[in-house]
Every structure is written in C-alpha cells, then in structure tokens.
C-alpha cells in the first residue's frame, strides 16, 4: 500500500513492516478492507476459472486473509503464504478457511508440480524487488519465485498478481523474470488515466497464451470520442473516470452510508426518499 | 495444516528437488474440525494426491479412519468413500508439531497450525 508518498518497501523488509500495528490496521480500517476486497474480486475475475467448479488456489502474500476470505466466499479452497508472523496471527484469529504457511516467496513456492488451479496475489510481489539483505538479488529472487510458481500451477492455470510497481524499470524486471520462467500473458491496467485508481494486474498463463483481458476504464475513453452526440430522455448515472460515483449523487450517498455501516456507525435505513431531489429552497 | 496441504507440500531446500516429498509429520497436537462436504472438490483433488503418502500421513496421526490403502476405480460415484476422503483431507489438522524433509533431514516447525517454511540463505536455492 502506498502511504504518504513514501513507499513501504523503502522502510525495510516486509516481515518488519507488517508488524502488529500494521496488521491491526488491515483488519480495522474499513477503507483498506474495501480496497483489498475490490482488488481480490478483480483478481479472481481475471483468473477466469471454470464456472461452478470449486478450485484449489494459492494466495501469495495472503497476509491477514482478506483476499482469502473472498476466495472462500466464491466457493473455492486455498492455501496462503506470507512472511509476516503478525499478519498470519491475525489470519488465524480471524479463523480463515484456507491453510496458511509462513514463507518467503523469493525462496520459492514449496509445492509439488501441478498442485494449484490458479494463483492470486494482492499488493505483494513488488516486495521482491528490494534487496533487504546483503545476499539478496532481486532478479534471482523474482526468478526463483516465478519458476517455482510456474511449476506449482496446473496446465492451463493462471496467476493474477496485483502489484504496485515503483517505476517502469521495476515493471520491466518483474515481467522479464516471469517470461523467463515460461509464463505467457501480460499486464492488465485498470483506470490507466487516473493516478489514484490505477491498478496493475500481471496476468500470467501456464501453457498456450490466452487472450489478455482489457483493463477497466479503457472502454469508457473510446465512447467519449464519438463524433456525434446522442440525445436521449434517459437519465444517466454518472461515474467519474476513477469508477467512483459523482459526488452528492444518489449512488454516492448510498455508497457512503454503506461505508459508515461497515465502520459500525448508526446509519438511517435506505428508503425511496434517500438522495431524492429536494425543493429548491434547500 | 490440513492433510490436503501436506500431501502437496514439498521441501524446497537447495538440491533436494522431488526427493523433498513427502515431509514426515511429527505431531504433538492434532485437531478435528467439521468442514462442509463438497463431493465435486474431493473428486477433483483425488487424482492430484499421492495416495500412499496420504495413507501414511493419516495413519501417523492416528486418523486413518477406514481409508482404503489403495485407490479403487470408480470412486467418483462412491459417496461413502468420498466422505472418508473428505474427512481425512480437510477435517484433520496438525496444530503443533514438525515436518521433516526426507532428503536433507531439515525440520520445519508447525505452530498454531502454520508450518514455518522459511529457509536460511545457505539452504535456499541459488
């Protein structure tokens, strides 16, 4: 997670950054939960798993199990791997359904070939790019991670890794190592024109190259470039380029109320009067 | 750690390769927790299992629970059999203990159900 402009990866290794305080934040900060859940949802969508089939997935950098909970909700089974004891402790306390492992992804994924039907990772892989110890070599660690992941995935499986690349060089380094390990695929970027909402999903395929899905927020741009204007009586629900509802609209009000409910605050029930247009004197 | 995970886990100590499986379990605390039975999932996972290793692991924990020592054909339709497999794979958990790499002898401790697979720099592959 980017915080206050400084990247967490610059503050030290992940097992120290994700201590008890940070772990608590992950489970009590409703905004963090919302973002992590949204990204997990998008990652699982990009996995394109066969419908109505319970699958066995790997969650790399599973942390306190937020993404894992979403996987369970979708009816799949999972194993999570994480380097932070504090985060894993929280996951155990939260009684997540998946099995947990303490491990360093840069040392490899310790599973037999073809174990998993798919893999997701939320906000974790960029940590491999930092050499936290004298002997660490980011390129080697990335290669170790990707080659063992490739082996641990079944034929036809996908890995969808959401990450926060620091710059173009890092992005290049990561994708190069992934390709060297045998993966095909590429980067899917959601909301490429928004600094805040922009999200990178590295979509990797084991076996013949699949069709890379388009990023969100890219199709909307095309529509706006149409030469003719359409007149219709239809009242449009506007969303901004970030995918958020226009401020003060009914959608925005409902989303805000839902957010506050999640924070445990007292919120009035939603009725047909919620967000309706008032008489001008308001 | 469930026996399903154990059956897929393999030691990644440098130089060990496929001889890092199966990890030998020494359990000091085992727990049995109910998990909803999903016949589709169990049927799909059975072909991925190393059956001998599964039987050995279940037996070492004292939870063999009538699991046959050999996989018979046509198990997809046998609900009773699938339920037994479900029980062994998903309901038996090692809470405290150790896992031992059969090739290098390296011990991986299990605490609160979580195996610690962190390697030292020398042990991690180059």
Question: pLDDT, tens digit, for every residue of A270-282?
Answer: 888 888 888 877 6
Cα–Cα distance, A52 to A145 (Å, whole number): 30
Nearest to B98 by CA among B14, B29, B46: B29
pLDDT at B74: 86
Q: Which helix (H) or strand (E) holds B32?
A: strand B24-32
Residue B123 is assigned to a structural domain of this protein: no
What B115-119 contacts at long range (C-beta under 8 Å, 24+ apart), as own/partner pairs, is: B115/A101, B115/A102, B115/B1, B115/B9, B116/A102, B116/A103, B117/A81, B117/A101, B117/A102, B117/A103, B117/A107, B117/A110, B117/B12, B118/A83, B118/A102, B118/A103, B118/A104, B118/A107, B119/A104, B119/A107, B119/B12, B119/B13
CATH number of the domain encompassing residue B9: 2.20.25.10
Q: Is A43 helix (H, G, I), strand (E, B) or coil?
A: helix
Yes or no, beta carbons of A100 and B45 under 8 Å apart: no
Q: Which residues of A touch B121 (CB under 8 A)?
A: 133, 135
Residue B30 is assigned to a structural domain of this protein: yes
Q: What is the pLDDT of residues A138-179, one digit of tens each?
A: 899 999 999 999 999 999 999 999 998 888 888 999 999 999
Residue B120 is assigned to a structural domain of this protein: no
Cα–Cα distance, A157 to A146 (Å, whole number): 14
C-beta separation of B104 from B11 below 8 A? yes
Residue B116 is assigned to a structural domain of this protein: no
* pLDDT confidence band for B29 (50 / 70 / 90): very high
Q: Name A18's Cβ contacts closer than 8 Å, sequence gap at least 6.
A: A63, A83, A84, A86, A87
Nearest to A40 by CA among A146, A104, A123: A123
Yes or no, beta carbons of A108 and B41 under 8 Å apart: no
Strands of the B24-32 sheet, one edge to the other? B24-32, B92-100, B107-111, B114-115
Spans of all domains in chain A: 8-206, 240-268
How many Cβ atoms are within 10 Å of B112's Cβ, its own excluded?
14
pLDDT at B118: 95
Token digits of residue A119: 């893999």
Nearest to A99 by CA among B20, B77, B113: B113
Cα–Cα distance, B48 to B58 (Å, whole number): 17
Query: What is the overall mean pLDDT for chain B?
Result: 92
Running DSSP on this structure, what letter comes out for residue B22? S
* pLDDT confidence band for A242 (50 / 70 / 90): low
pLDDT at A11: 77
Residue B34 is assigned to a structural domain of this protein: yes
On the question of a cis peptide bond just before residue B22, with omega within 30 degrees of 0, the verdict is: yes
Instruction: Write the CATH number of the domain with boundaries A8-206.
Output: 3.40.50.150
Cα–Cα distance, A137 to A145 (Å, whole number): 12
Cα–Cα distance, B114 to A118 (Å, whole number): 21
pLDDT at B113: 96
* Three-state secondary structure string covering A48-92: CCCCCCCCEEEEECCCCCHHHHHHHHCCCEEEEEECCHHHHHHHH
Residue B48 is nearest to which of A92, A114, A140, comparing CB atoms?
A: A114
Residues A199-216, mean pLDDT to the nearest whole number: 87
Site of tokens 């994708």: A175
Residues A8-14, mean pLDDT to the nearest whole number: 81
CA distance A146 to chain B (A): 13
Longest dimension (CA), chain B: 48
Yes or no, beta carbons of B124 and A144 under 8 Å apart: yes
Q: What is the pLDDT of residues B66-89, one digit of tens each?
A: 888 888 888 888 999 999 999 999
Residues B38-45, mean pLDDT to the nearest whole number: 95
Q: How many residues does chain B have?
A: 126
Residue A53 is nearest to which of B10, B12, B40, comparing CB atoms?
A: B40
Any B CB within 8 A of A275 CB: no
Q: Which domain holds residue B25?
A: 3-105
Q: Which residues of A touch B11 (CB under 8 A)?
A: 110
How many structural domains does chain B have? 1
């Amino acid at each position: 997670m980017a915080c206050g402009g400084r990247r967490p990866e610059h503050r030290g290794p992940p097992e120290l950054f994700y201590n008890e305080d940070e772990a608590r934040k992950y489970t009590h900060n409703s905004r963090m939960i919302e973002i992590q859940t949204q990204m997990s949802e998008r990652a699982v969508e990009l996995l394109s798993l066969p419908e109505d089939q319970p699958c066995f997935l790997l969650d790399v950098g599973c942390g306190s199990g937020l993404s894992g909970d979403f996987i369970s909700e979708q009816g799949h089974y999972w194993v999570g791997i994480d380097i932070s004891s504090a985060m894993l402790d929280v996951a155990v306390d939260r009684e997540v359904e998946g099995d947990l492992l303490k491990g360093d992804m840069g040392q490899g994924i310790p599973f037999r070939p073809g174990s998993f039907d798919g893999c997701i990772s939320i906000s974790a892989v960029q940590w491999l790019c930092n050499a936290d110890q004298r002997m660490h070599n980011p390129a080697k660690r990335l290669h170790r991670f990707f080659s063992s992941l490739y082996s641990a995935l079944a034929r036809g499986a996908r890995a969808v890794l959401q990450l926060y690349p620091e710059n173009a060089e890092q992005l290049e380094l990561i994708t190069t190592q992934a390709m060297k390990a045998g993966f095909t695929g590429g980067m899917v970027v959601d909301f490429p024109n928004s600094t805040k909402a922009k999200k990178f999903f590295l979509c990797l395929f084991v076996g013949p190259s699949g069709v890379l899905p388009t990023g969100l927020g890219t199709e909307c741009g095309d529509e706006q470039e149409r030469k003719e204007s359409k007149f219709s009586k239809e009242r449009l629900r506007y969303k901004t380029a970030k995918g958020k509802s226009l401020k003060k609209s009914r959608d925005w009000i409902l989303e805000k109320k839902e957010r506050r409910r999640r924070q445990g605050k007292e919120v009035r029930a939603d009725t047909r009067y919620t967000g309706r247009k008032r008489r001008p004197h308001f | 750690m469930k026996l399903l995970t154990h059956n897929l886990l393999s030691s990644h100590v440098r130089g060990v390769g496929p001889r890092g499986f199966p990890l030998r379990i020494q359990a000091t605390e085992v727990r049995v927790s109910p998990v909803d039975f999903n016949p589709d999932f169990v049927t799909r996972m059975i072909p991925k299992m190393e059956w001998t290793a599964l039987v050995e692991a279940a037996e070492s924990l004292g939870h063999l629970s009538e699991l046959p020592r050999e996989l018979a054909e046509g198990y997809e339709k046998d609900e009773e059999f699938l339920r037994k497999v479900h029980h062994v794979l998903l309901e038996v958990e090692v809470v405290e203990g150790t896992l031992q790499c059969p090739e290098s002898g390296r011990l991986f401790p299990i605490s609160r159900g979580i195996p610690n697979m962190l390697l030292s720099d020398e042990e991690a592959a180059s």
